[in-house]
Amino acid sequence: MSKPYFVSIFAEEEKLLAGIKAVKEKKVKIDEIYTPYPMHEVIEAMGQKSRFTFVAFLYGFSAAVAVLAFLYYTSVISWPINYGGKPTSAFPSFIIITLVLTIASITILSLFTFSIRAKIYPGKKYVLPDLRSTDDKFVMVFDSEKAGTGFDDLNKMLKDCGAEEVYTKEL
Amino acid sequence: MYKAEVRGPLILGNKDYSQITRDIIAPIDARAPIWWKVAMGISLMAAAWGMVALYMTVRYGLGTWAVNNSVAWGWEIINFVWWIGIGHAGTAFSIFLLILRQKWRTSINRAAEAMTVFAVMCAAIFPAIHMGRVWLAFYIFPYPNTRGSLWVNFNSPLFWDFIAISAYLLISASFWYFGMVPDFASIRDKAKSKVKKAVYGLLAFGWTGSSKEWLRYEGLSYILGGIAAVLVVSVHSIVSTDFASSVIPGWHTTLFPPYFVVGAIFSGFAMVMTLMIVIRKFYKLEQYVTDAHLNAIARILVFISLIMGSSYATEVFMAWYGGNEYEMFTFFHNRITGTYTFMFWAMITCNAVIPQLMWSKKVRNNITALFIISLVINVGMWYERYNIVVTSLAKDYLPSSWTLYSPTWVEIGIYIGTLGIFITGVLLFFRFIPMIAISEVKSVLKPTSITKYTKKH
């Protein structure tokens, strides 16, 4: 069910950052910020944190252990081959294939993780408050019920910071 | 404000964000130009010839090739290594520069990644057809098969190669595709026709550009970039061990892994330069792919060329210093002189001598000269692989087994076919995908341009 949101449009990143600072000082809750390119200041302002790299490390560690276990099983337990009296558990020659399979596993698992956590997948129904945010505008959106301020106050506050437009939209 | 004065502005002209989107997606909105249609026709014909040659190979077997008991590896392995080399440097370019926070990559990385994906696809054809019975290619998958619990040889560089190339194709294609998702969203939201909106909407995976999405997007980019950087080095090292772990003179050397990795980056950077010159010329994107970008690539090429020259000299020196008569024979009587001497000197001239012209600023600023040198390097890198493969095999330990090698039309046809597939892929990329990463270029617009923005500060 849709509900009203306050949508503010900025033409330049400095003005957006000024707007973020102003609403933070007044303890107005920002629902989301949409930008045409990644901005670390925006991610920090939204209090967003990601454990993606740690999770990727866990994927890699688990994959490396699994691959080594598999290689040990195939080369020592399932079908040991004696060539030139060399040891069947030839750890050094397992290293490269372990590295490559670990990288392949991290890739596949990270892609799935990204798709699930960022909710990016084919055929996804999305809500974009203002289409210009994928082109040249920086868009800050407030949930009218949770923002903690009214439209008029917010409008004045953001316009003072350089917002081009502030309007209400059902999303 | 930081103005990147050392490198010069990355984007010329008084651009704003919307202008960047319009400039880069203009070729997608416009009708295909005549040159594009002609080039597409020629490359499709080349690809068709390749298909005929592939059919002959599969239908009649490897007897259609000129490979024999001595020269068991011919054009196919040469072309495989050549393509995989080109493919490697594309991503190496994009990923190494990402990790090193080199912002000048933003105008070039998309095309470099596209080139990588098409080149690796071309490379993957060769090991498959080299099996002879390509329909049994699944034998190399490590599965407990119906003939008993017999496994593939996990200690073989040839198996490592298969896994490494598959992983590399996966990671480079993912890196490329997910890099394009925000740009597909830009096209979707600017599209006027319903079909275009629907197609690019599907490709954009519902991207909105929210802070949550950007956070994870950046995380994914750095994770894939970090592990792909390791993979780039390991894959071509593995390709080199296909050769170096044998006892063939000219191959059995510890120099091979770094020599192959650097060679791959060399040929890939050269191909990136070729492609970027074409893109900026035909699509009038000189303000995004500036002379400074080409200058930076040229300086890297000159540096790598020195490493290549040193590697060639090291090989010859070690053959002499090691005192092994077979190594001596291979280098001094079958490369520097002998039947295949042209290949050796062509390799030296194209890879170690001609690129030195780029020490001159005049040459670095001459786009035609850069274009020619980039093509010369790619030819030279092909000769390098010919030199390595054929000269070592044609005359090895037993003079009674010596055989000369020259390819059949089928082998040449397969190579021409892969060139056709590659160029077809690149032309489709020109037509339907933003050639420059829109969102990444926007992110470097303010800090690095001499525009209205920097003038204010």
Q: Which pLDDT value is given to residue B312?
A: 94
Q: Are residues A22 and A77 in the same domain?
A: no
Residues of B in contact with A72 (CB under 8 A): none
Q: Are residues A9 and A42 in the same domain?
A: yes
Test A79 with B150 for CB contact under 8 angstroms: yes
3-state secondary structure of A32: strand
Test B160 with A121 for CB contact under 8 angstroms: no
Q: Are B163 and B157 in contact (CB under 8 A)?
A: no
**Lowest model confidence (mean pLDDT) among A9-13, A35-39, B30-34, B134-138:** B134-138
Pick from A117, A138, A153: which residue ends a domain? Answer: A117
On whether residue A131 sits in a domain, the answer given is yes
Nearest CA in chain B to A45: B211
Q: Are residues A101 and A153 in the same domain?
A: no
Predicted confidence (pLDDT) at residue B449 exceeds the cutoff of 50: no
**Exposed, middle or buried, B78 (CB in 10 Å: 0-12/13-18/19+)?**
buried
Q: Which two tokens stand for residue B78?
A: 């040469």
Q: Check residues B451 and B180 and name the one with the higher pLDDT.
A: B180
Residues of B in contact with A107 (CB under 8 A): 167, 170-171, 174, 224, 227
What is the percentage of chain B residues whose pLDDT exceeds 70? 94
Q: Which pLDDT value is given to residue B455?
A: 45
Pick from A95, A117, A139: which residue ends a domain? Answer: A117
The total number of structural domains in chain A stands at 2
Q: Which two tokens stand for residue B269?
A: 């950077």
Residues of B in contact with A125 (CB under 8 A): 206
Predicted confidence (pLDDT) at residue B145 exceeds the cutoff of 90: no
Low-confidence ranges of chain A (pLDDT < 50): none
What is the mean pLDDT of the segment spanning B130-139? 84
Q: Are residues A61 and A44 in the same domain?
A: no
Q: Are residues A19 and A57 in the same domain?
A: no
Q: Are residues A8 and A39 in the same domain?
A: yes
Tens digits of residue pLDDT in A100-148: 999 999 999 999 999 999 898 988 888 889 889 998 899 999 998 888 8
On whether residue A14 sits in a domain, the answer given is yes
Domains and CATH numbers, chain B: 34-139+152-428 (1.20.1630.10)
Q: Are B3 and B448 in contact (CB under 8 A)?
A: yes
**Residue of A126, A138, A143, A171 to mutate for B, most B C-beta atoms under 10 A:** A126
Q: Which two tokens stand for residue A91?
A: 């750890």
Q: Are residues A71 and A41 in the same domain?
A: no
On whether residue A112 sits in a domain, the answer given is yes
Q: Are residues A65 and A107 in the same domain?
A: yes
Q: Which pLDDT value is given to residue A127?
A: 87
Predicted confidence (pLDDT) at residue B143 exceeds the cutoff of 80: no
pLDDT-based confidence at residue B453 (cuts at 50, 70, 90): very low
Predicted confidence (pLDDT) at residue B245 exceeds the cutoff of 60: yes
Test A120 with B205 for CB contact under 8 angstroms: yes
Predicted confidence (pLDDT) at residue B289 exceeds the cutoff of 50: yes
Q: How far apart are CA B88 and CA B267, in angstroms?
A: 9
Q: Which pLDDT value is given to residue B291?
A: 87
On whether residue A78 sits in a domain, the answer given is yes
Q: Which pLDDT value is given to residue A48?
A: 81
CB atoms within 10 A of CB A53: 12
Identify the residue whose tokens are 């040459």: B363
Angle in degrees, CA B139, A63, B97, rounded to 5: 95
Q: Give the DSSP per-residue string, B282-314.
A: HTT-TTTS-HHHHHHHHHHHHHHHHHHHHHHHH
Q: How far apart are CA A7 and CA A166, in angstroms?
A: 6
Q: Are residues A98 and A145 in the same domain?
A: no
Predicted confidence (pLDDT) at residue B109 exceeds the cutoff of 60: yes
On whether residue A59 sits in a domain, the answer given is yes
Q: Which pLDDT value is given to residue B183?
A: 92
User: Residue B225: which of A36, A56, A44, A58 has the closest Cα?
Assistant: A56
Q: Average per-residue pLDDT in chain A?
A: 89
On whether residue A122 sits in a domain, the answer given is no
Q: Are residues A144 and A166 in the same domain?
A: yes
Q: Which pLDDT value is given to residue B360?
A: 94
Q: Are residues A107 and A64 in the same domain?
A: yes
For residue A137, give the CATH number of its domain.
3.30.70
What is the mean pLDDT of the segment spanning B393-413? 91
Test B18 with A135 for CB contact under 8 angstroms: yes
On whether residue A156 sits in a domain, the answer given is yes
Pairing of strands A4-10, A138-143: antiparallel
> Any alpha helices (H) in chain A, and if so which ranges?
13-25, 40-45, 52-72, 91-117, 151-160
Question: Considering only residues 161 to 180 of chain B, which have any Cβ-Cβ distance to chain A shorter than 8 Å?
Answer: 163-164, 166-167, 170-171, 174, 178
Q: Are residues A102 and A61 in the same domain?
A: yes
3-state secondary structure of B340: coil
On whether residue A111 sits in a domain, the answer given is yes
Tens digits of residue pLDDT in B312-368: 999 999 999 998 999 999 999 999 999 899 999 999 999 999 999 999 999 999 999
B/e letters for B371-399, b = 16+ CB within 10 Å, e = fewer, are bebbbbbbbbbbbbbbbbbbbbbbbbeee
What is the mean pLDDT of the segment spanning B164-172? 88
**Containing domain of residue A113, as a range?**
52-117
Give the pTM: 0.89
Predicted confidence (pLDDT) at residue B450 exceeds the cutoff of 80: no
Highest-confidence range of B22-31, B37-46, B164-173, by mean pLDDT? B37-46
CB atoms within 10 A of CB B342: 11
Nearest-Cα distance to chain B for A55, in Å, is: 10
3-state secondary structure of B47: helix
ipTM for the predicted complex = 0.92
Pick from A72, A95, A117: which residue ends a domain? Answer: A117
Predicted confidence (pLDDT) at residue B7 exceeds the cutoff of 70: no
Test A74 with B142 for CB contact under 8 angstroms: yes
